[in-house]
Amino acid sequence: MLFLIVYLTSVFIVLGVGAVAAYSDVKGMQIPNMYSAIILGVFVVCFAVMTLGGKEWIFYPLTAHLISFGIVFAFTAGCFALKLIGAGDSKLASAYAAWMGIQGLLPFLFYMALVGGLLGAFAIIVKKYKPFKNPKPDSWIGQVQGGANKVPYGVAIVIGALASFVKIGYLNVDNFSLFIES
């Protein structure tokens, strides 16, 4: 039961911190490094505790998680160098990629891209029609209505992570009962 509590606490912490990171991105187009560090640090601790406790089945092998992290970090660092995304987006996506493992990377990228596309379409509509009255100038809405071409991609990353957690089984109730049985 202790391992289930550690596991669920870890999952809810990383999703909660992600929600705060997404809010920060919408509010001011910034994702503090602390949020990505917490998400990655909680993964390391949770992975270690589950492995040492004989519950390693909840994750993929460590190499799968490291490769996933490496792929996303390399790609997003390149995108940052080309000024396509912000550094905070790169770090946040990489931290969540560590959770996904290589087997869960495709669903994560798919859901993230889907939500990112929807945010982009919304930004185009907001920029064209300016439907919000007196948004804060530093907020995403304020910047877009002012003519900027920006999307708070942290929102897409976090929603993509949540959808992937469901898809790859991290939030599967059937898996929770395995903690008690094993």
pLDDT exceeds 70 at position 76 = yes
Average pLDDT, integer, range 39-56: 97
Could you state, in order of their start, the residue ranges of all structural domains in the chain? 2-181
User: What is the Cα–Cα distance from 124 to 149, expressed in whole angstroms?
Assistant: 8
Write down the mean pLDDT value for the chain.
96
pLDDT exceeds 80 at position 4 = yes
Average pLDDT, integer, range 106-133: 97
Average pLDDT, integer, range 36-65: 97
pLDDT at position 177: 86
Q: ∠ CA(60), CA(61), CA(64), 5° rounding? A: 80
Contacts 24+ apart (CB under 8 A), 5-10: 6/46, 6/49, 6/50, 7/46, 7/50, 7/55, 7/58, 7/179, 8/176, 10/42, 10/43, 10/45, 10/46
**Token pair recorded at residue 44:** 């390391």
CB 95 within 8 A of CB 76: no
pLDDT exceeds 70 at position 182 = no
pLDDT at position 61: 97
**Token pair recorded at residue 169:** 């089984």
